[in-house]
């Protein structure tokens, strides 16, 4: 009888291991909403000017979108889905040149099995420092 129990348990164990176990499938993030910049106001400033408010006009700005000044996210105010503003410090326009301005809609976290959305960054517009 003990031999039959041992054989049964060994068979059950072998069957269980043979079936394997895998983690639940995860869903990859999907593309988020792509913002689009159509205009900057102002689009230029004199080198050495004081800080100023940059207005970014466009479309598809999420409520938590950020204006990026030369790749660095700025403290951004969401005015509407078509407009964002940020105060650009005087140190950022101290010398003549050009700056790339973009807007990013951050991604959203997924649930237990993944999902969510990926962050999306807009087209780039050039700001000129004279």
What pLDDT is attached to residue 41?
98
Global pTM value: 0.75
Task: Compute the distance between CA of residue 117 and CA of residue 107 in angstroms, rounded to an integer.
Answer: 5
Confidence of residue 10 (pLDDT cuts 50, 70, 90): low
Task: Compute the distance between CA of residue 117 and CA of residue 130 in angstroms, rounded to an integer.
Answer: 39
Name the CA radius of gyration of the chain, rounded: 27
Q: What is the CATH number of domain 23-129?
A: 2.60.40.10
76-99 tens-digit pLDDT? 999 999 999 999 999 999 999 999
Per cent of the chain over pLDDT 70 is: 80
Strand 44-45, strand 125-129: pairing: parallel
Question: What is the largest distance, in Å, between two alpha-carbon atoms of the chain?
Answer: 95
Domain boundaries, the chain: 23-129
Which tokens hold the place of 34?
A: 């792509």
């Amino acid at each position: 009888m003990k031999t039959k129990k041992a054989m049964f348990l060994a068979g059950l164990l072998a069957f269980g291991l043979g079936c394997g176990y895998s983690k639940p499938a995860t869903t990859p993030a999907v593309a988020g909403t792509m913002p689009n910049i159509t205009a900057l106001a102002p689009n230029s400033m004199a080198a050495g000017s004081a800080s100023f408010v940059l207005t970014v006009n466009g479309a598809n700005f999420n409520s938590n979108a950020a204006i990026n000044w030369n790749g660095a996210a700025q403290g951004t105010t969401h005015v509407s889905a078509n407009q964002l503003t940020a105060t650009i410090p005087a140190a950022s326009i101290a010398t003549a040149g050009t700056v790339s301005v973009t807007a990013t809609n951050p991604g959203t976290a997924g649930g237990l099995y993944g999902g969510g959305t990926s962050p999306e960054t807009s087209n780039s517009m050039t700001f000129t420092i004279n």
